[in-house]
Amino acid sequence: MFCFILIFVAILYMLFDVNYFLRVLITVGIGRLFEKRKKVTEPTVIYGFCFTQDLDIAGKHMNNARFVRDLDFARFHFYDRTGLYGEMLRRRTDALQGATSIRYRRVIPIFTFYKVVTQIIYWDSKAIYVEQQFITPSDGFVRAVVLSKQAMLKVDVNEVIRTLSGGKAIKPDMTPELDHWLKSIEASSERLRPHSK
């Protein structure tokens, strides 16, 4: 029986990124057990620790792919804590990652705690725009900042936000960074369209 379990676990690890799914479950589970619900316009925070599995080839600091991986955990936590995930289920929609831009400002050294702060900074009828910051609590420095576009299918995002906020959410002004980023996305889309070749 023990050998069967070992073989089953080994097969799971060969076929799936088991640690990814475990981390999602743990992050969301801890949020549900120990954290209060948040308003959809409020930031959420998860914590991480740069360990040996997170290192780049130099073996000194977190590799770039781990930053992007942690964004998923923080985003799923945000969806759950704000009720956004439940509202998406109710409306039978999903949030699809439409674009992401990450700016690395300083490395996260090995054996360093960090937090990822996630917040909606803008929305329109089709998408929410999220900013995420990697911050080291020891010095408060923003190590990386990320903008992402989460598109929702077949729903008006304004209605989703209105429902979650009880009609009290005030759409923030678009930041200059977001405005420039969206223009660059549109320019890229225009260049990649078949008629522009």
For 4-23, how does the pLDDT look when each residue is reduced to its tens digit (9 = 90+)?
A: 999 999 999 999 999 999 99
- CA separation for the pair 42, 76 (Å, rounded): 15
What integer best gives the mean pLDDT of the chain?
95
Mean predicted confidence (pLDDT) in 160-179: 94
Is the full-model pTM beyond 0.85? yes
Instruction: Output the CA angle 136-68-49, nearest 5 degrees.
Output: 35
195 has pLDDT over 80? no
Domain 38-189: which CATH number of 3.10.129.10, 2.60.120.650, 3.40.220.10, 3.40.50.300: 3.10.129.10
Radius of gyration of the chain (CA): 19
DSSP for 49-63?
E--GGGB-TTSSBB-
Q: Which helix (H) or strand (E) holds 156?
A: none
Q: Render pLDDT for 89-122 as a digit per residue (tens, 0 to 9).
A: 999 999 999 999 999 999 999 999 999 999 999 9
Task: List, in sequence order, every residue forming a beta bridge with 135; answer none if it has no partner.
Answer: 115, 142
Provide the token pair at 118.
């996630």
Q: Where are the domains of the chain?
A: 38-189
Q: Is 122 within 8 Å of 174 (Cβ atoms)?
A: yes
